[in-house]
Amino acid sequence: MRLTSFTDYSVRVLIYVSQKNGDLASIREVSEAYDISRNHLMKVVHLLGKGGYLDTIRGKNGGFRLGKEPKDINIGALIRYTEDDLSIVECFSGTDGRCTLVNNCSFSHVMQEALQAFLSTADKYTLEDLVKDNEPMNFLDP
């Protein structure tokens, strides 16, 4: 199972802004902190704003901050929200006729169970779990 960079960046943005203690963050500062494309981050922040994970403020002095308390941001739910496709094998994608073994294959059941175990583990954690007891982030020079 491999998550997209979009999900990875979403988690990074939320971790970053959680350490701002309610102060606004900007695309520029997150981009520089993580060495991520500003254009890509704009899409990430937009989706996180639409989902209520971030409050976004437009304008000259705008930016974004957490839209929920860290304890209310579930990592499993975030993954489901940011991933377009959790089909780890072709037969999960709903395309009929691609696998001739579809009616006699146990592999898809194994992979479905594995995916559920992955998500179940992620469901046990919140953003608060990822940032509590951590020192403020120190970013390496790119």
Contact (CB, 8 A) for 92 and 86: yes
pLDDT of residue 84: 87
Residue 59 lies inside a defined structural domain of this protein: yes
Residue 120 lies inside a defined structural domain of this protein: yes
pLDDT of residue 64: 97
Residue 116 lies inside a defined structural domain of this protein: yes
Among residues of the chain, what percentage have pLDDT more than 70?
82
| Residue 84: C-alpha distances to residues 32, 68, 93, 142 (Å) | 26, 22, 11, 29
Residue 138 lies inside a defined structural domain of this protein: no
Residue 141 lies inside a defined structural domain of this protein: no
14 CB-near residues (< 8 Å, 6+ apart): 48, 53, 54, 66, 73, 78, 127
Residue 137 lies inside a defined structural domain of this protein: no
Is it the case that residue 14 has pLDDT exceeding 60?
Answer: yes
Contact (CB, 8 A) for 36 and 2: no
What is the number of structural domains in the chain?
1
pLDDT of residue 86: 82
25 CB-near residues (< 8 Å, 6+ apart): 13, 16, 17, 63, 64, 65
Is it the case that residue 65 has pLDDT exceeding 50?
Answer: yes
| Residue 128: C-alpha distances to residues 67, 131, 134, 137 (Å) | 14, 5, 10, 15
Q: What is the mean pLDDT of the chain?
A: 87
Residue 140 lies inside a defined structural domain of this protein: no
pLDDT tens by residue, 96-131? 546 665 566 777 788 889 999 999 999 999 999 999
Q: What is the CATH number of the domain that holds 101?
A: 1.10.10.10
Q: What is the mean pLDDT of residues 46-52?
A: 97
Task: Note down the domain range covering 26.
Answer: 5-131
pTM equals 0.83
SS3 82: helix
